[in-house]
Amino acid sequence: MKIRYENSLPLAADYFSALGYAEGFDTGTLKPEDLIDVDVLAVRSTTRVNAELLSCANRLLLVATATAGINHLDTAYLERQGIRWMSAAGCNAQAVAEYVLSVLGNAHKLQITHLAEATIGIVGAGYVGSALAQLLEVLGIAYVLYDPPLQASGDPRNFVSWQHIEQCDVITLHVPFTQSGAHATEAMINEDVLNNLTAKQLLINACRGEVIDEPALKQRLQAGDAPAVVLDVFANEPDIDRELLDLLWLATPHIAGHSIEGKLLGTQLVYEAICDLTGVTPEKTLSDFLPERPNLHLDLELCRDQSDNLAPALTLALSVYDVTNDNNNFRQGMTGAETFSAMRKAYGIRREIAGHQVDGLAPVQPIIAAQLAQLGFHLK
């Protein structure tokens, strides 16, 4: 078994070396002749896998991407060639959901959005939208779901109309990028939609930049009564519109899903797919590679403040990850396409909520303790 893997897959050598001869390659360096006699190709979204790249692949059995998206894979070509393919769908869902929770926590803290009274419109109820809905459910924050394809498939959850979404206090986008079909998502947030939004609303995009018509967005943000907008993704990455950046409330360089857990889970899922291909029982697990959980301390004064029941959980969530830090670093460091890519590549260590344990909870706080546990915190 010969495996070629993109070096940006975290701990790929540790995972794959037990399965055969595993050799890494740097992003952008893979050539067609490098795939001669290769059985498995493992990539991230930075490597486009198409007929040209695979022109010399004489025994390729599996193409695996350690990312949720598959736009970089020519899946139709792979299927015609009888080559299996897989994605790590859902690997970064929790990280993106916690990114949105951090945005909401800051909006609540700054009184941009009053979460106790707000309704969150979740556009796209797949892995990420479902993970976000679960967090909001635990916190008692109202939300609605919009996903016509899932609704048509018989998904039993309650879905609302687009007109209902446009009335929500917060609209957060979690759809795949599609350019054709009855429910194409390219520029789904267009001029008409943007003109229906007001300064009382918050729009968040942490899926794909192309789902928003950026020229229309820039024009809307330069007008009066514009909504607050948070973008983690942009059209034309990494060569983004710098003028648009200055008009956003919060902005980050496509890092919403970049938690340690999310990245490692991508490699784990690729490893398990290779094991399945070869009939080997997986021996390595995510817990083998994750660092110890750091401790967080909950200030009990927050628990005694009856004016804001969300304060304890949101304060802890923001201590795990505060999006404003990434926003500040992005704005200070962003000078062009190269720095956008460099910031993504050099993104620091970020743990998810489940990667933390909490102390300081008195036995008299069972309701708050139960809520924190449901969010994923480990309680000491």
Which sequence positions are flagged as catalytic? Answer: 208, 237, 254
Question: Residues 374, 108, 101, CA angle at the centre, nearest 5°?
Answer: 40
Tokens of residue 38, six digits: 């290769």
Tokens of residue 367, six digits: 């309701």
Distance (Å, whole) CA 98 – CA 117: 20
For 106, residues 6+ apart whose C-beta sits below 8 A from its C-beta are 112, 250, 318, 322, 323, 324
Distance (Å, whole) CA 55 – CA 35: 9
Tokens of residue 97, six digits: 């959901």
Task: Check the CA dihedral 335-340-346-351 and report its sign.
Answer: positive
Are the C-beta atoms of residues 264 and 11 closer than 8 Å to each other? Answer: yes
| Sequence letter at residue 66 | A
Measured CA distances, 189 to 175, 182, 251 (Å):
12, 15, 18
Reduce the DSSP state of residue 6 to 3 states and report it. Answer: strand
Count of C-beta atoms within a 10 Å radius of residue 343: 19
